[in-house]
Every structure is written in C-alpha cells, then in structure tokens.
A and B are shown apart, each in its own frame.
Chain A
Amino acid sequence: MTLGTGTLINNGLIEGGNGGMGKGYHAGKSGVGVSIAGGEAINAGTITAGSGYQHVPSNNSLNAGVYINGGTLITSGLISGGALVGKTSVVGDAVQFGTLASTLEIEAGARFDGVIVGDSTNDTLVLGKLNGAGTLTGLGSTITGFTAIRESLNAQWTLSGTSTLAAGTTLTAHGTLDIAGALGGAGTLELTRNVTVIATGTLNVAAIDFGMYEIGQKTLVLDKPAEVTSTISAFHSSDTIDLVGLLANGVSFANGTLTLLENNTAVGSLALAGDYSSANFTLTADLNGGTDLNFVPPKQPEQSSGYGAWHVAANPALDSLLAFIPQGHGGF
C-alpha cells in the first residue's frame, strides 16, 4: 500500500529538540526542525531548531531550522535556527543545504532567523509569486551559496539593502525585479522574456545578460546610469534600456563602450559586449525626463539561394552564428 507522496505541509509548529547539556563538556547537538531528503515541503507555519548549550567556543551545539539534501522547500512562514540555552540570539543556520541539488522557494512574508547557506555547487533559490510582491534582504550576506537565483514567471520582487552575486551565480529576472538598494558582485544578472528590471539603486554586477535566445520585451531601467559599470551582453531587438534622468541625442560605439552624447558632448557610457556599431542604437525620449536606448537591426541584403530566401535576425550574436552556415544550402 502506498499512500505517501513525500509532501509535507506545515501550518503549525515543528521544532527540534534541545541538545543535552553534556555535563559541562561538549554539549549535545540540538535537533534540526525539519530534515528533508527529497520530496516537497511547504511551510506556512513555524519551523525551528532546538536550543543547545555551549560550554566552550569550539562546541557548536546548534543545528539548522531546516536541513535539505535533495527536494524542494517552499516557505512563507518562519524558519529559525537553534539558539543557545539561556540566550535569545539565534546562532544556528535557518536553512542549510546538503550536497544533493535542492531548491528553496521563498514567498512574500517568509521570515528567517539565522542565515541561509547553499553548498555553492547546485542549489537554487526561487523568488516565488504565490503571495504576491515580496522583498528580499541579505542576498550575498545572510543568503549565500546558490548557483542559481530565479524569479518566478511574472513575480514581483524588490532587492533591498546591499545584495551581492558571487562569481558563478546567475540571478534570473522573470517578472518585475526592483533593485532598491545596491546589487553588485562577480555574478550575472539575466533578463528573460517579458521582464522589467528597475535599478533604483546601484547596479554593478559583473555582467547583465539580456539573453541571446530570449524573445519578448525586456526592459532595464537604470535610475543611476552613470554609476553602472556592468558589462551588458546580448542586447538586441525588443530590448530597452531606460536611462532615467539622462538626456541624450546621440551615441558613439567603440571598443565595447557605448558613449551617450548630448549635442556631441558625452553625458554617460555603458559597457556592451558584442559586435555593434553606432548605427545599431537609437535613442528616444522616455517621456519621463530621460532617454530610452534601443537596438536597431542592421539592414541585411536579402540572401538568395536555390532553396528560397531567408532574412537574418537583427542580432549581432546571431549574425555570427549564421556566418558559419554555408549560403545556398538552406540554413535552418
């Protein structure tokens, strides 16, 4: 008889037990609140690790609120690491990951006492949409070790405070993402289809990727375009960079730098990776005191062959790919 599906739903309270005092030597470990090895756990209640004693500094007796080693945890509730007996401050991790690939989905309203620690190899953090718009604080400081951070389709999230993407980490916006504080680091911010990223704060990740193969409107709103040092890649048709508060009426592209001009005077610049020319860009007023930057497809001569004709997509990167396809043999 098989009844179980490996699904755990918690709307109540789950708590690990307190560790033993250990007669003044090494205290016993506190109990994990929930240990997950596969399946799916959905928490809208409270999960907390037990408390522990600490007689010497090397004696880490505290455990995590949730330990996950494979599977998915979706939470809109409270998850708390263990606390030292007699003290109110939480020291244990809120969520700790094992070696198996695991996913933590945070919904609006979720709270954590203690840090969230991925294992830096294969764990995914999802910013969910089940409870509407959410705010995430501590990315890169109290939330670390994720190789992929993904916003759910059509979700709305705000990054507050200082956020950092470590090298090898990609944050994929898939709805509306407001960078209200500062977002930096050696990682990548990726825009997928039909997405708006609003950088009201400082945006200085190593790379901003518009997604070479992603189709659909993608808009990057830069409230402080002069402070952006990220290298932007795959900027192509249907993409827009809104340069808030920056008036420009001309561009010049050379050596990977797009210089924005106001009556032939440089007023800003962006680093763009790709085989562009100045003619690939157009500027229009954003109707809010700033300027919209868009990509202009290069005019391509119609290619004729014995098998019909095709038109090259307006994408310099795609142009490069197509250059390897022998003409006159149909291509795709």
Chain B
Amino acid sequence: MTTISTAVTKTVFLGRGGIDTTLTVTAAGSIAPTKYGAAGVVGGASPGMVSNAGTIDGAAGSAKIAMNGGDGIHLAHGGTVTNAGMIVGGTSGVYDFPSSGSTLVPSLGGVGVAGHGVTLMNTGSIMGGASSISHYDDGGGAGIDLHHSAVTNLGTIAGGASNAYSYFGGPAGDGADLKDTSLHNEGLIAGGAGLGMGNGAGGVGVAAIGVAQQSRMTVPSRVAMAAATTSRRAITRAAMAAAA
C-alpha cells in the first residue's frame, strides 16, 4: 500500500513507478498535478483501490487551446474509491473564436471520479471541474461518470459550473452520469449551474441509463440540453443553438 501525506504535483499512476495499486491519501496529503489536463490518480490494468481523506485534483486544461480538464480519479479497469476528503476535476481549457470553419470543439471540466466497474463510497465531496471563464461553449465536468459500477453517497457530489462571459455558455456538468450503475444516495447530488452571462444549461442531477435501454440522445428537445450530456466531448454550436 502506498500512503501520501504530502503535496504531490504529478499524476499518481496506480501500479507504476513504485506506487502500489492500493493508495491512501491522508488528510494532510494532496495530489494536484500541474501538467495541463492531467488526472490526479489513474488506475492501471488491474483494479485499484483509493482511500482519500485529503485532496485529489485534476489539472486544468490549457489556457490557450481547447483541452478538457483532468479527471480527479480515473479507474478504467475498476476498483474501489473511498472518499472522505475532496476530489475535484480540473477546470476546462479555453476555447475562443476559431480561425476558420464553423465547428466548435469546446472543452469541458474534468470529471471528479470516472471509471468502469468501480465501487464508490463517498462521505466527502466530489466535484466536476468548472468551465473556464471563457467566451464560448466550454462546459463543466460531471461529478462522477461511472459505468457498471456501484455508488453509495453520504456526502456531496456535484457537477462543475459553466462560466461564460458571452451569450453562448456551455452546459454545466451533471452531478452523476451513470450507466448500468446502482446508486444509493443519502446525501446531496447536484448538477452544476450555468453561471456568468451565458445561456449554459444547468447540469442534470443524476442521469441514469439502465440495462439495455436506449441512449439519452433520444430525449426530445423540450428537455434536450440538460438531459443530453453524456457524450459531450464534441459539442457543436448547432446543438447549443437548438437547445436555447
């Protein structure tokens, strides 16, 4: 088991570089990488186990190009996360006017905890990354984005806010994006808010897709923008306009 009780400024990869697959971050510890878009903790090929009483942050996206913020914890191959501290996705990068073309590729805040096959117990706070204070369409990240997982929440899970100083605000992050995942909530789960001057949609509190059901992209337009945020990695200006 690896224990972190100091400030770490690089991504922690479980099972690599002398780091065990079982990681404990104490109340005095923190992980906050400085590389643009980097995740705080990344799982390896086998399930990892993270116990956090401190702070785990994803890094912000680039301030010069469209780049998503880093996830707080990303376990693609499953594992367990027990959080009594704070986990936050990184702030999105900045998108501005394209030099040519009409398709925008805005960036999003990082997800607080993302993964597949994850058992998550939260008594602390998990937040998606907010969008940067940008001119166009950048959105907030989800608090958690989990597939085939099990979540128990006694604390707070929230999506990242959308911040825009122009009219075209991006969507705020959902509190929890879940697919084929069980959720037991005794605490607070909240979608992010659209802030600033933009028309960003508020995030969904919990967007849950059950077994063998269709994609949320079938949601009709009257609830479309807030509900249709699972695959937001390539949001176009047309989609934003349709939702307004």
**Which residues in A have some Cβ–Cβ distance to B below 8 Å?**
1-23, 25-41, 45, 47-48, 50, 52, 60, 63-64, 67, 69-71, 96, 98-100
Contacts and interface: CB of A to CB of B under 8 A. Distances in A.
Contacts of A32: 191, 204-205, 207, 223, 226-227
A16 B197 CA distance: 19
A13 B202 CA distance: 16
A98 B219 contact: yes
A34 B178 CA distance: 11
Given A37-B208, A64-B223, A31 B149 contact: no
Interface of B: 47, 78, 116-119, 146-150, 153, 159, 161-162, 164, 166-167, 169, 171-175, 178-216, 218-220, 222-227, 243-244
A6 B150 CA distance: 9
B191 A50 contact: yes
B244 A31 contact: no
A19 B225 CA distance: 10
B172 A70 contact: no
Contact of B181 (A4, A12, A17, A30): A4
A29 B174 CA distance: 13
A203 B119 CA distance: 53
A16 B204 contact: yes
Given A2-B180, A29-B226, A69-B219, A17 B213 contact: no
Given A2-B148, A37-B213, A23 B166 contact: yes
A50 B25 CA distance: 34
B205 A25 contact: no
B210 A67 contact: no
A15 B185 CA distance: 12
B194 A38 contact: no
A18 B199 CA distance: 10
Contacts of A71: 210, 213
A99 B219 CA distance: 9
Given A14-B190, A29-B224, 4 more contacts: A1-B116, A17-B194, A28-B169, A31-B172
B208 A17 contact: no
A41 B205 CA distance: 13
A3 B190 contact: no
B210 A39 contact: yes
Contacts of B169: 20, 22, 28
Nearest to A33: B205
A8 B208 contact: yes
Contact of A28 (B47, B178, B202): B202
